[in-house]
A and B are shown apart, each in its own frame.
Chain A
Amino acid sequence: MPVVIDHRPGKQGTHEPARQRRDPAPSRLKYRLERMWLTPLYRRMVRVGVPAFLIAMVAGLWLADEDRRALLKGGIASVVDKIQSREEFQVRTMTIEGASPVVERALRAMLPVDLPASSFDIDLPALRIQVMQLDAVESIDLRVKPGGILSAVVKEREPAILWRRARGIEILDRGGHRVASVTSREVRPELPLISGEGADMMTAEALNLFDAAGPILPRVRGLVRRGERRWDLVLDQGQRIMLPEHGAVIALEAAIALDRAEDLLARDVTTVDLRDPQRPVLRLGMDARNTIRGARGLTLLGPDGKPLEEETKS
C-alpha cells in the first residue's frame, strides 16, 4: 500500500496496475527439455560432439576440392619459406678453427648448401655426424653464431704411432684410431712402428713399452703383436725380445737392466725369451753355438741348424 494516496478523480487504481501473475510452472515442453539437457550423455553430445562434428564437416567439405588443397599447401609453404629466408636467418660465411688445410678443404666440401643460405637449410647434427666420419677429426663443435657465421671448431687427432699391416702403413693416434695412411715408413720416421693383427687395439701399451725402452731405443725397429696376445720387441741385427702377456713393461725393464749389467744384447744372442718372467731364456746365434760346440769337440752346425758331416769338418 503506497504511503501517499492520490484521491484525484480518474487517478485511483492507476498507481497499482493489475499485474498479470505469470504461472511459475514450466510448460511440459520446457520441463522435458530441461530434463533432457540434464542428461549427461545428451549434454556431452551437444557440448562436444556437435561442435566437433561441425568443424570436421566444414573442414572436410572445404578440403574436398583439389584446387583448395593445393592453394592451402602452397600458402603454408610460401609462409614457411618467407620466414626461413629472412635476413636474420641467413648464414654468410663459415669459419673453421684448429683444422689442417686438408681437413678444412674436406669440411668445406661437406657443407651441403652453397653459402649464403638460410640456417634452416643447414642440418647441423647431420653435418656433424658426417664430419665425424673423417678419421682425422676427433671432435667438432658446429654452431651458427650471430651475424650469419657458421663456426666450426675442430680438434684433430694427433698422430702417435705407425701401424704396418698387410694393406699398408697407417698412422694411429694414442687411442688406436686411424688418422691417415702413409705410403712408406720414411714419411714419418719420428713415430714408432708396430705391426701385427690387433696391434691397434693395444696402442697405449705399445707406447708405454717404447717409453720404457729408453736406452736401447736407437736399436729398436718396432713392436710386433703376436697372436693378438703379447708383444715382441724387434731390434736391429735380427734380435728380438719376447715379452710376456702381462707385465710386459716390467719384463722389458728387466731385460734392459740385464743388458746394462751383462751387455747382453751386444753378444751373439738372437732371442731373449721373457715370456715366463721367472725363467728368461736366451737363444744363441749360430757363431756362438759353433764356438761352444767346437770347444766341446762336437760337430759344428751348418747354417740350416743341422750338424755338418764329418768329412766336411775334416
Chain B
Amino acid sequence: MAELYQTQRAMRNMRRAALQRGVIGILDIGTSKIACLVLRFDGTGTFRETDGVGPMAGQVNFRVIGAASTRSRGMRRGQIETMAETERAIRTVVAAAQKLAGVRIDHVIACLSGGSPSSYGLAGEITLEAGKVAEHDVASVMAACEVPDFGRGREVLHAQPVNFAVDNRSSLADPRDHVGNKLFCDMHVLTVDGDVMGNLVQCIRRCDLELAGIASAPYASARASLVEDEQELGAACIDFGGGGTGVSIFIKKHMIFSDHVPIGGNLITQDIAQGLRVPLPVAERLKTLDGGVEATGADDREMIDVGGNTGDWETDRRTVSRADVIGVMRPRVEEILENVRGVLDAAGFDYMPSQQIVLTGGGSQIPGLDGLATRILGPNVRCGRPLRIDGLAHELTDPSFSSAVGLALFAAHPQDEWWDFEMPADNYPGRSFRRAYRWFKNNW
C-alpha cells in the first residue's frame, strides 16, 4: 500500500504543477472514440454567463480552449488491445486539440473504462486516545480499514472515504475535532487490473505526455451527468459505452459502488451486421441513424437501402425495414439492461432511499431507451447530458462526452482520496525523526 501511496502522491503533485501552469489535458480513451479537451485554469474566477453555463459545481475557474475527438483504434472492451494503434489515435486527438488550443499540453488526466473494476466497501475503527479526533486520527482510521485480498495484479484506482462516525454519531463528512472515544470510517475502494492500467500509462507515456491523474470512467461520467441533488440523495449512473456499460452508484456525493457490464454498443453493431448480413460500417450507420428499441407500424413500412459492392445486383439492392433493425437491437439492449439490473441488485440499489437512474454515454441516445429502461430498471429513469462547461463546443455536449466532462470536473475539484491525507506516522519505518516531532507536537 505504501507504494500506491507514493505513486498517487506523485500524480497529485503533478496535477498541482499542471494547475499552477494553467493548462491541463483531459484524455477520455473509450472503445469507440477518443476525446481530448484542453483546459485552461485562468484562476481569475470571473463568472461569464454564456449560454447557460452556471456557476455550479465550481467549474467557473476553468474553460475549455481546445477539444477534439476521433475514432478510437486498437481498443476492445474498454481495454487497450493494440498499443501502437491506440498510441496513434492518442497522437491524432492530442495533436488536433493542441492545434485548436494553440498551447502545448504536458499533463493529462485519463480515464479507464475497462479493466474489470471491482469495488469494495471497507470499514475501519480506532480508539481515540486523546478523546478527540485529531488530524492524524483520520489518516490512521483509514489505515486501520480491513483490507481484503484484492487478488493478484490488482491496482487501487479510487479509495475514497465515504462516511465517518464518532461513537454513535454517524454520517459525518468531516470528523475532525469531534469529541468521542471511537472513530469509525467507511471507505470505498475500486480496484482494476494493474496490467490494463499499466498499458494505458505506457501508451500515454509514449506520446510524451505525463499522467497527472487517472479516474474510473463510470465515476467520471456520473460526476458530469448526475445533478447535485441526485448525487446527494442517491442515484445510479449508467454509462452506455462502446465496449461496455459502466454502472456507478452515488449517495451523499460519494461513489459507493461501481461495476462494469462487458456488453456495449459495439456488440449491438456486431449483431446487426450478423443478423442483416451487412458490413460493420453499414451496421454502425443503421444503428446510429435508424436504430431504436420500440417498433411501431410505421417502422414496418420504412425501408432502408443497405447497399453493398459485392457485384451481385440482388445483394447490392437489398433493403431492410426499420422494424428489422429494431428487432435485432432490442434483445441485445434488453440483455444489457438486465445485466445492469443484476449489478444494481447485487449492489443493493433497491434499499437506497432514492432510486434515480440516469442513462448517459453514447448508447443512451438510442430512441426509446428510457422507456425500455423504465420497464427493466425502475420507474425513475432519465437520460442525462453532461454538465455544461465553459468553452465546450456544442457538438461535444452530447451524452457520449459525459466522461470527458466529468474528468474535467475531476481535474478541477478532485474528491478526497485516501492518499490525500497524511500517512499515519507508524507507517514510516525509517523516519523516526518525524515521528518524534509529531509526538512532541501532539503531546506538548
Give chain A's interface residues, CB within 8 Å of chain B: 1, 12-13, 16, 23-26, 28, 31-32, 34-35, 38-39
Q: A23 CA to B92 CA in the complex, in Å?
A: 10
Asked if B95 is an interface residue, CB under 8 A from chain A, the answer is yes
Q: Do A31 and B311 touch (CB < 8 A)?
A: no
Residue of A nearest to B89 (CB): A25
Q: Do B309 and A38 touch (CB < 8 A)?
A: no
Q: Do B95 and A34 touch (CB < 8 A)?
A: yes
Q: In chain B between 136 and 194, which residues have their CB closer than 8 angstroms to a CB of chain A?
A: none
- The answer to whether A38 and B89 touch (CB under 8 A), given A1-B307, A32-B208, is no
Asked if B99 is an interface residue, CB under 8 A from chain A, the answer is yes
Q: Among B88, B103, B305, B316, point to the contact of A25 (Cβ < 8 A).
A: B88
A–B Cβ pairs within 8 angstroms, 20 of them: A1-B305, A1-B307, A1-B316, A12-B311, A13-B311, A23-B88, A24-B92, A25-B89, A25-B91, A25-B92, A26-B91, A26-B92, A31-B95, A32-B208, A34-B95, A34-B99, A35-B98, A38-B98, A38-B103, A39-B104
Min CB–CB distance A39 → chain B (angstroms): 6
Encoded as 1 (CB less than 8 Å from any A CB) or 0, chain B from 107 to 141 comes to 00000000000000000000000000000000000
Q: Do B309 and A31 touch (CB < 8 A)?
A: no
Chain B, interface size category, equals 10 to 19
Residue of A nearest to B92 (CB): A25
Q: Do A34 and B98 touch (CB < 8 A)?
A: yes
Min CB–CB distance B315 → chain A (angstroms): 13
Residue of B nearest to A35 (CB): B104
Asked if B397 is an interface residue, CB under 8 A from chain A, the answer is no
Asked if B70 is an interface residue, CB under 8 A from chain A, the answer is yes
Q: Which residues of A contact B94 (CB under 8 A)?
A: 31
Q: Do A35 and B92 touch (CB < 8 A)?
A: no
Residue of B nearest to A12 (CB): B311
Q: Which residues of B contact A1 (CB under 8 A)?
A: 305, 307, 316
Min CB–CB distance B265 → chain A (angstroms): 22
Q: Which residues of B contact A25 (CB under 8 A)?
A: 88-89, 91-92
Q: Which residues of B contact A39 (CB under 8 A)?
A: 104
Residue of B nearest to A38 (CB): B104
Q: In chain B between 387 and 422, which residues have their CB closer than 8 angstroms to a CB of chain A?
A: none
Min CB–CB distance A41 → chain B (angstroms): 11
Inter-chain contact total with CB atoms closer than 8 Å: 35
Q: Among A13, A16, A23, A35, point to the contact of B208 (Cβ < 8 A).
A: A35
Asked if B45 is an interface residue, CB under 8 A from chain A, the answer is no
Q: In chain B between 63 and 111, which residues have their CB closer than 8 angstroms to a CB of chain A?
A: 70, 88-89, 91-92, 94-95, 98-99, 102-104
Q: Which residues of B contact A13 (CB under 8 A)?
A: 309, 311
Q: A1 CA to B103 CA in the complex, in Å?
A: 42
Q: Among A23, A24, A31, point to the contact of B207 (Cβ < 8 A).
A: A31
Q: Which residues of B contact A16 (CB under 8 A)?
A: 309
Q: Which residues of A contact B307 (CB under 8 A)?
A: 1
Q: Which residues of A contact B103 (CB under 8 A)?
A: 38
Q: A23 CA to B433 CA in the complex, in Å?
A: 58
Q: Which residues of A contact B98 (CB under 8 A)?
A: 34-35, 38
Q: Which residues of A contact B208 (CB under 8 A)?
A: 31-32, 35
Q: Which residues of A contact B207 (CB under 8 A)?
A: 31
Min CB–CB distance B90 → chain A (angstroms): 9
Residue of B nearest to A16 (CB): B309
Q: Do B102 and A38 touch (CB < 8 A)?
A: yes
Min CB–CB distance A5 → chain B (angstroms): 8
Min CB–CB distance A240 → chain B (angstroms): 88
Q: Which residues of B contact A23 (CB under 8 A)?
A: 88
Min CB–CB distance A1 → chain B (angstroms): 5
Min CB–CB distance A29 → chain B (angstroms): 11
Identify the 9 closest CB pairs spanning chains A and B, nearest first.
A25-B88, A38-B104, A25-B92, A31-B91, A26-B95, A1-B307, A35-B104, A25-B91, A24-B92
Min CB–CB distance A32 → chain B (angstroms): 7
Q: Which residues of B contact A34 (CB under 8 A)?
A: 95, 98-99
Residue of B nearest to A30 (CB): B95
Q: Which residues of B contact A24 (CB under 8 A)?
A: 70, 92
Min CB–CB distance A155 → chain B (angstroms): 66
Min CB–CB distance A23 → chain B (angstroms): 7
Q: Do A28 and B104 touch (CB < 8 A)?
A: no
Q: A205 CA to B414 CA in the complex, in Å?
A: 92
Q: Which residues of B contact A12 (CB under 8 A)?
A: 311
Min CB–CB distance B134 → chain A (angstroms): 46
Q: Which residues of A contact B91 (CB under 8 A)?
A: 25-26, 28, 31
Q: A26 CA to B94 CA in the complex, in Å?
A: 10
Q: A37 CA to B91 CA in the complex, in Å?
A: 15
Q: A35 CA to B208 CA in the complex, in Å?
A: 9
Most buried by A among B88, B99, B103, B207: B88
Min CB–CB distance A25 → chain B (angstroms): 4
Min CB–CB distance B99 → chain A (angstroms): 7
Min CB–CB distance B106 → chain A (angstroms): 9
Min CB–CB distance A293 → chain B (angstroms): 108
Q: A259 CA to B103 CA in the complex, in Å?
A: 103
Q: A25-B92, A26-B95, A32-B208 are in contact. List 14 more A-B contacts (CB 8 A).
A: A1-B305, A1-B316, A12-B311, A13-B309, A24-B70, A25-B91, A26-B91, A31-B94, A34-B95, A34-B99, A35-B104, A35-B208, A38-B98, A39-B104
Q: A38 CA to B25 CA in the complex, in Å?
A: 14
Min CB–CB distance B18 → chain A (angstroms): 15
Most buried by A among B92, B95, B103, B311: B95
Q: A23 CA to B91 CA in the complex, in Å?
A: 12
Most buried by B among A13, A25, A26, A28: A25
Q: Which residues of A contact B305 (CB under 8 A)?
A: 1
Q: A12 CA to B208 CA in the complex, in Å?
A: 48
Q: In chain B between 286 and 313, which residues have their CB closer than 8 angstroms to a CB of chain A?
A: 305, 307, 309, 311
Q: A62 CA to B102 CA in the complex, in Å?
A: 39
Q: A12 CA to B309 CA in the complex, in Å?
A: 10
Most buried by B among A23, A31, A34: A31
Q: Which residues of B contact A38 (CB under 8 A)?
A: 98, 102-104
Q: Which residues of A contact B95 (CB under 8 A)?
A: 26, 31, 34
Min CB–CB distance B75 → chain A (angstroms): 14
Min CB–CB distance B36 → chain A (angstroms): 13
Min CB–CB distance B313 → chain A (angstroms): 8
